[in-house]
Amino acid sequence: MSYELDRVEKECPCPCGKGRIVYGSGSNDWNQVREGMSEIWCGECAKKYRLAGDGLLPIDFPEYSGDEQVKEKMQALEHVVSNYDGSRGFEYWPEEVREKRLSTYLTDEERDRVKKERDRYPLYIALTYAKELCGQYSEEVLLDVNMQLINAKFSTQLTGTAKEIAERHKRFFNTIKIENVKYPVQVALRNYQKYQDADLEDQQYLSELKKELDGYKKEYYKDYPAYRAKREKALIPLYLKDVEDA
Ligand SMILES: [Zn+2]
């Protein structure tokens, strides 16, 4: 549904002088309002120019473009960098990192469950849920929780952090059975140091990726100052003035 600019707040004459450049808000058929619209209200100028934020540019004035191949690499890397945040971004881990971590985070039995029975639960716990517990609680607190879980028969006997973790487990997995609550806590304890090492490793890896990305950006935008200068020359600045009774 397109918006029609129907409330002009600022305006100025167009380059040919027969019409106006307007700025204001628009609405559509469903009475939704969009702020910050601008339009060229002149048939002739609309054929010659396009609005470019800070002014008018000739309609065929190009956007900046650098080397297409560099752009592809740059965007692919940008995607990885913005999605790579340890556990949540594990599909972006390099293959060898994923293999290495899975082989140390999971026991042989759990790996079999994942591989042979296609049960992804241990995978989710080891990569995400237990890691989050480690991020939230100290090792000491988790050891204490584990002791409570070992000694309790029913979840109603739990107190403090143990109770908190049991309730969280219920929200996530719909069960508060001691055996079920205990499992991620024990995975967390088993992997506590490994998660910390992995975080450090991730930080280093990410900073390398960012360095590489900076290289691509520099390469892609190398002609930008020249483009900017050309654009500066072509740009017709606009001096919009407030409209009375807008
Ligand atoms: Zn005009």
pLDDT tens digits in sequence order for the chain, 246 residues long: 689 999 999 999 999 999 999 999 999 999 899 999 999 999 999 999 999 988 999 999 999 999 999 999 999 999 988 887 655 567 778 888 888 888 899 999 999 998 898 999 998 999 889 999 999 999 999 999 999 999 999 999 999 999 999 999 999 999 999 999 999 999 999 999 999 999 898 889 899 999 999 999 999 999 999 999 999 999 999 999 999 764
Residue 59 C-alpha to ligand 1 middle, in angstroms?
13
pTM: 0.66
Single-letter code of the amino acid located at 67: D
Give the pair of three-digit tokens for residue 221.
Answer: 């935008």
Residue 41 C-alpha to ligand 1 middle, in angstroms?
7
d(CA 173, CA 205): 33
| 128 and 149 share one domain | yes
Give the pair of three-digit tokens for residue 24.
Answer: 């204001």
Domain count for the chain: 2
Name the residue range of residue 23's domain: 4-64+223-242
| 151 and 196 share one domain | yes
Residue 63 C-alpha to ligand 1 middle, in angstroms?
23
| 43 and 24 share one domain | yes
Residue 56 C-alpha to ligand 1 middle, in angstroms?
12
| 26 and 133 share one domain | no
Dmax (CA) of the chain: 86
d(CA 13, CA 89): 52
Going across the sheet that includes 4-13, the strands are 33-41, 20-27, 4-13, 241-242
d(CA 116, CA 241): 70
| 74 and 124 share one domain | yes
Residue 65 C-alpha to ligand 1 middle, in angstroms?
29
